[in-house]
Amino acid sequence: MTSRTPADDGPARTFSIGGEFVVPRIGFGAMRLPAGPPAERDGAIAVARRAVALGVGLIDTAHLYGWGANEELLAEALHPYPDGLLVTTKVGVVRTEGPEGWAHDAGPSSLRVQVERGLRRLRTERIGLLQLHRVDPKVPVAEQVGALHELRLEGKIGHIGLSEVTVEQLAEARRTAEIASVQNRYNLMDRGYEPVLEACEAAGIAFLPWRPVAAATPGRAAELAAVAAELGATTPQLLLAWLLARSPVLVPIPGTASLAHLAQNVAAAGFRLSRAQLDRLEALAAPAEA
For residue 193, the enclosing domain spans: 14-214+244-271
- The answer to whether residue 219 is domain-embedded is no
Q: What is the pTM of this model?
A: 0.94
Residue 65 appears among annotated catalytic residues: yes
- The answer to whether residue 42 is domain-embedded is yes
- The answer to whether residue 8 is domain-embedded is no
- The answer to whether residue 290 is domain-embedded is no
Calculated CA dihedral for residues 236, 240, 241, 246, nearest 10 degrees: 140
- The answer to whether residue 165 is domain-embedded is yes
- The answer to whether residue 162 is domain-embedded is yes
Domain of 26, CATH number, reads 3.20.20.100
Catalytic residue among 65, 81, 186, 193: 65
- The answer to whether residue 237 is domain-embedded is no
Kindly report, residue by residue over 70-101, the tens digit of the pLDDT.
Answer: 999 999 999 999 999 999 999 999 999 888 89
CB-based contacts of 154: which residues, under 8 Å, 6+ apart? none
- The answer to whether residue 260 is domain-embedded is yes
Answer yes or no: is pLDDT of 290 > 80.
Answer: no
CA-to-CA distance for 45 and 40, rounded, in angstroms?
Answer: 9
What's the domain count of the chain? 1
The string of DSSP letters for 7-20 reads: TSS---SEEEETTT
Answer yes or no: is pLDDT of 287 > 80.
Answer: no
